[in-house]
């Protein structure tokens, strides 16, 4: 199955791989997955084909300079009104304001005057003039004159109140300006959506005047974007504006690539965009002068604007002479302050709006620039467009690319195929760029070009894989480089990189030997899944090579064992970070350069192995910490960095009573520390009442630990986890070694998955339990608890719950030593009482001070026994 009549594999055929990539690329293109590439290519090409804009457009920009001069936005609308009056003095053809004017501009002063005016009317003061006049005829002359004066004052107050209110009414100022000018266009925005039924209110008269008649203009043949709701300017502005047009930006999908619609549909009514409306007015055209020509675009009088049936245009990219801006741009503040001669605006299309401020999520500079480009593209009749015949050109390009991949490319050698494919891709790009540059015709060649590119590389990849050449170049020099590099990686313990190099070698006896040796190294590292992968790779090429079938089965079993949940923690993968040491036919495990012999101890989070440095034959103890089973993500990286810092710090300590650190490293997310191999047992073997050491021996052991801590403290190292399990004692020689410097900083400061503090707090000082900053006196407190337990067979503080235990350590006094053991010398209890003080200032301040007291007491005890 899968082979032809000659026995050659069907999957080795280039045309079959070409057919597969053709189907995939065609499907992705149909789903629009290359639209981003199309836009990038369109943007690049259009920047290389700038056009000259119409000189009829000027821009008055609300820019940073204006904001600095006139204050932060929003400004009073009277400023806009003043600017309109100044600009109108130059007699521009059309003025378009791109600012939203859909809400009243109410200042605190105007609100206060309005409330005062309402109060004046509510209290009936506006009617008192007539009342006073009527009453005045019935009173004496003097009183009548006073009433007349009061009436006159009230009338004057009412007139002044109305005058001041009108003066502060910014909307009234802008309304009066619009009424005087009569050639200002405003904008409306809209929410896109499908409309049904009838609108809540009829179209305002200004919108109804500018809508396109559907039948006479053939507007019934188009399908512009639909508007669900319109966001219109205030009615007083609409009453005096010349026209109103739609404007939008990227929030509505409007940009140069996707196209800007020249109209929107609102309940069946086709309303012009601001760009189209301004262009029409500049040409003295009305809505009845605009017609849609199917397959071509809009006819504006004698102008033909290329659009699709949604009335979208793709504005040109314009550039001014000598690298200047495309359109003459003036600062709002300069025009308002009289620094610009209004006559420069004569017969111009004047666009007024902000630059650099966002409006509705669209940068105003983009909105204003696109508007100017769109108007210029309409007047110049030069927008980018895609004629109907382009689809046949693209269909031919797709067909030629598919034929090339399935028929011609399989006949070519690798180098010729690469050169010809690159030439065809460049030709496709040129064939797209040339019509865009000369006539503004756009079509994207990304689909056929990606088909050629992907097809070529897939077939080249297939040729290498099926020819056994691998993915990298296959010259003798390159193959030797791969072999040497792979061996170098293997010797450095970077086995994954070594395998990546070895599998690109041609399959022969030499390469199989390299791969087999690499699989054995994976076994030594206890990476059984990786070893199985290498054995499977060998088996695909040499099924019966050596004993790989048995090794594949064995590594499969061991891989499953290593990935099984730990019995005590169902969601911890692997074996709790331990190593599988004894299994038939499995190589001895390695941690870094150390060969692991046997397990010699286990703690809450760590496991200790006896190992050997094969290079110098030195026996070592290797403590492993499976950090990846307790930490995740950034926390894991932070803990690893802290682990190496603490190991480095502990490695710099050199003291007879501190274990020597040789090395630290990481193997498959298991951190390890190689240290001096110690003879003896930790003090947990001597804390039971049945196995207590002599009192003088305990005091000497603790004194040696205190001297070791004094040395560490003077080197700015705090142990943080002094307890019997971390003190090794050789009963034959009397040697004492303090171990695990810095490990507590990694484990005890962290939380397990269930939120319990790692380790036991029975030996922690009150300040350590409280999370305060620690110094060496905290270690001395922990050493005091250890001494108490070695003397009495029980710790001074114990409880059924963690919270109770922590409370006792922090608040309750320890039991008296003599109450628990009446045979102690008198000098022992005062030492323990002082070292277990809650307040660090009341304890021994240094380890040497504590050691001196302990040794003096031990000497006294021995002298009494002599």
Query: How many other CB atoms sit within 10 Å of the CB of residue 747?
Result: 23
Output the CA–CA distances (angstroms, integers) from residue 107 to 169, 173, 323, 487, in the order listed.
Answer: 8, 14, 43, 80
Tokens of 366: 């983009």
Distance in angstroms (rounded) separating the CA atoms of residues 705 and 722:
9
Residue 39: exposure state from Cβ atoms within 10 A (0-12, 13-18, ≥19): middle
Is-contact 498 487, C-beta < 8 A? yes
Positive/negative CA dihedral, 34, 38, 39, 41: positive
Distance in angstroms (rounded) separating the CA atoms of residues 403 and 817:
96
| CB crowding 92-107: b at 16 or more within 10 Å, else e | bbbbbbbbbbeeebee
Mapping DSSP to helix (H, G, I), strand (E, B) and coil, where does residue 232 land?
coil
Helices (H) and strands (E) in the chain, counts: 30, 25
Q: Among all chains, which residue has been given the structure tokens 């305990």?
A: 698
**Bridge partners, 665 (sequence order):** 672
- For the chain, the maximum distance between any two Cα atoms, rounded to a whole number of angstroms, is 137
Mapping DSSP to helix (H, G, I), strand (E, B) and coil, where does residue 310 land?
coil
Mapping DSSP to helix (H, G, I), strand (E, B) and coil, where does residue 290 land?
strand
Mapping DSSP to helix (H, G, I), strand (E, B) and coil, where does residue 537 land?
helix
**HEC sequence for 188-217:** EEEEECCCCCCCCCCCCHHHHHHCECCCCC
DSSP string, 438-506: HH-B----HHHHHHHHHHHHHHHHHHHHHTT--SS---HHHHHHHHHHHHHHHHTT-HHHHHHHHTTS-
Distance in angstroms (rounded) separating the CA atoms of residues 346 and 422:
54
- Residue partners of 163: CB distance under 8 A and separation at least 6: none
Is-contact 388 315, C-beta < 8 A? no
Is-contact 42 442, C-beta < 8 A? yes
Distance in angstroms (rounded) separating the CA atoms of residues 95 and 181:
10
Is-contact 724 789, C-beta < 8 A? yes
Runs of H (alpha helix) within 317-389 = 332-336, 364-380
Query: Nearest 5 degrees, angle CA 359-CA 360-CA 365?
Result: 35
The candidate with the shortest Cα–Cα distance to 433, out of 53, 43, 51, is 43
Q: Which helix (H) or strand (E) holds 84?
A: helix 77-88
Query: How many other CB atoms sit within 10 Å of the CB of residue 816?
Result: 12
The candidate with the shortest Cα–Cα distance to 230, out of 288, 190, 273, is 190
721 a catalytic residue? yes
Peptide bond into 74 cis (omega under 30): yes
Is-contact 417 405, C-beta < 8 A? no
The candidate with the shortest Cα–Cα distance to 510, out of 476, 561, 462, is 476
Exactly one of 14, 88, 521, 721 is catalytic; name it.
721
Distance in angstroms (rounded) separating the CA atoms of residues 414 and 712:
67
640 labelled as ligand-binding? no
Tokens of 442: 């756009």
Distance in angstroms (rounded) separating the CA atoms of residues 679 and 657:
13
Runs of H (alpha helix) within 722-765 = 743-747
Q: Which residues are annotated as a binding site for ATP?
A: 623
Active site amino acids: 721
């Amino acid at each position: 199955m899968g082979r032809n009549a000659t026995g050659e594999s069907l999957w080795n055929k280039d045309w079959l791989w070409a057919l597969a990539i053709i189907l995939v690329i065609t499907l992705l293109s149909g789903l629009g997955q290359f639209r981003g590439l199309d836009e990038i290519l369109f943007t690049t090409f259009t920047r290389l084909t700038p056009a000259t804009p119409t000189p009829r457009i000027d821009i008055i920009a609300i820019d940073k300079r204006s904001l600095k001069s006139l204050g932060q936005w929003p400004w009073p609308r009277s400023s806009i009104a003043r600017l309109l009056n100044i600009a109108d003095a130059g007699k521009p053809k059309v003025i378009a304001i791109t600012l939203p004017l859909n809400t009243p501009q109410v200042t605190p002063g105007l609100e206060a005057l309005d409330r005062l005016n309402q109060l004046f009317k509510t209290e009936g003061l506006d009617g008192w003039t007539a009342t006073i006049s009527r009453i005045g005829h019935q009173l004496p002359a003097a009183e009548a004159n006073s009433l007349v004066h009061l009436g006159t004052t009230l009338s004057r107050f009412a007139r002044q109140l109305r005058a001041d209110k009108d003066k502060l009414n910014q909307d009234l100022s802008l309304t009066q300006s619009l009424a005087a000018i009569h050639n200002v266009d405003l904008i409306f925005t809209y929410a896109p959506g499908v409309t049904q039924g009838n609108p809540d209110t009829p179209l305002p008269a200004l919108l109804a005047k500018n809508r396109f008649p559907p039948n006479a203009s053939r507007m019934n043949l188009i399908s512009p974007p639909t508007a669900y709701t319109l966001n219109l300017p205030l009615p007083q502005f609409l009453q005096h504006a010349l026209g109103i047009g739609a404007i939008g930006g990227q929030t509505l999908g409007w940009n140069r690539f996707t196209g800007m619609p020249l109209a929107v549909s609102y309940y069946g009514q086709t309303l012009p965009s601001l760009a189209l409306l301004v262009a029409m007015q500049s040409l003295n055209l009305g809505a009845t002068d605009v017609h849609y020509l199917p397959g071509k675009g809009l006819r504006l009088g004698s102008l033909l604007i290329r659009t699709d049936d949604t009335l979208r245009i793709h504005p040109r990219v314009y550039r001014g002479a000598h690298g200047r801006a495309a359109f003459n741009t003036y600062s709002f503040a300069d025009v308002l302050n009289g620094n610009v001669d209004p006559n420069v605006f004569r017969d111009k299309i004047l666009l007024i709006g902000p630059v650099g401020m966002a409006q509705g999520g669209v940068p105003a500079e983009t909105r204003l620039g696109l508007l100017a480009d769109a108007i210029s593209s309409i007047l110049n009749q030069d927008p980018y467009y895609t004629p109907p015949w382009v689809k046949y050109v693209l269909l031919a390009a797709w067909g030629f690319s598919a034929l090339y991949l399935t028929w011609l490319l399989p006949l070519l050698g690798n180098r010729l195929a690469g050169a010809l494919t690159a030439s065809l891709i460049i030709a496709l790009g040129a064939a797209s760029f040339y019509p865009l540059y000369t006539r503004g015709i756009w079509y994207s060649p990304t689909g056929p070009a990606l088909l050629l590119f992907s097809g070529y590389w897939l077939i080249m990849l297939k040729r290498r894989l099926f020819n056994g050449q691998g993915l990298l170049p296959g010259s003798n020099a390159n193959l030797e480089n791969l072999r040497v590099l792979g061996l170098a990686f293997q010797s450095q313990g970077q086995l994954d990189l070594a395998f990546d190099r070895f599998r690109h070698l041609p399959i022969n006896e030499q390469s199989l030997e390299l791969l087999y040796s690499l699989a054995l190294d994976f076994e030594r590292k206890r990476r059984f899944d990786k070893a199985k992968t290498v054995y499977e790779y060998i088996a695909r090429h040499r099924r019966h090579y050596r004993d790989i079938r048995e090794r594949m089965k064995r590594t499969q079993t061991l891989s499953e064992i290593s990935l099984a949940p730990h019995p005590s923690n169902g969601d911890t993968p692997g074996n709790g970070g331990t190593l599988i040491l004894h299994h038939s036919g499995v190589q001895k495990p390695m941690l870094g350069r150390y060969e692991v012999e046997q397990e010699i101890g286990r703690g809450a989070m760590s496991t200790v192995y006896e190992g050997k440095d094969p290079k110098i034959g030195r026996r070592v103890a290797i403590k492993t910490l499976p950090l990846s089973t307790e930490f995740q993500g950034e926390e894991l990286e932070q803990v690893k960095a802290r682990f190496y810092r603490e190991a480095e710090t502990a490695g710099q300590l050199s003291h007879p009573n501190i274990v020597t650190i040789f090395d630290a490293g990481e193997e498959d997310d298991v951190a390890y520390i190689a240290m001096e191999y110690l003879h003896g047992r930790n003090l947990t073997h001597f804390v039971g009442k049945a196995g207590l050491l002599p009192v003088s021996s305990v005091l000497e052991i603790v004194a040696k630990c205190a001297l070791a801590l004094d040395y560490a403290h003077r080197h700015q190292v705090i142990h943080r986890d002094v307890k019997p399990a971390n003190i090794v004692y050789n009963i034959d020689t009397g040697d004492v070694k303090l171990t695990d410097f810095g490990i507590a900083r990694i484990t005890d400061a962290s939380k397990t998955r269930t939120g319990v503090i790692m380790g036991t707090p029975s030996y922690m000082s009150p300040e350590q339990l409280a999370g305060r900053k620690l110094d060496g006196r905290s270690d001395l407190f922990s050493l005091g608890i250890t001494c108490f337990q070695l003397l009495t067979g029980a710790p001074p503080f114990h409880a059924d719950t963690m919270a109770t235990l922590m409370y006792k350590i922090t608040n309750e006094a320890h039991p008296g030593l003599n109450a628990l053991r009446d045979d102690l010398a008198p000098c022992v209890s005062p030492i323990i009482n002082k070292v277990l003080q809650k307040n660090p200032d009341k304890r021994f301040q240094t380890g040497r001070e504590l050691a001196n007291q302990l040794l003096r007491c031990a000497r006294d005890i021995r002298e009494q026994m002599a």
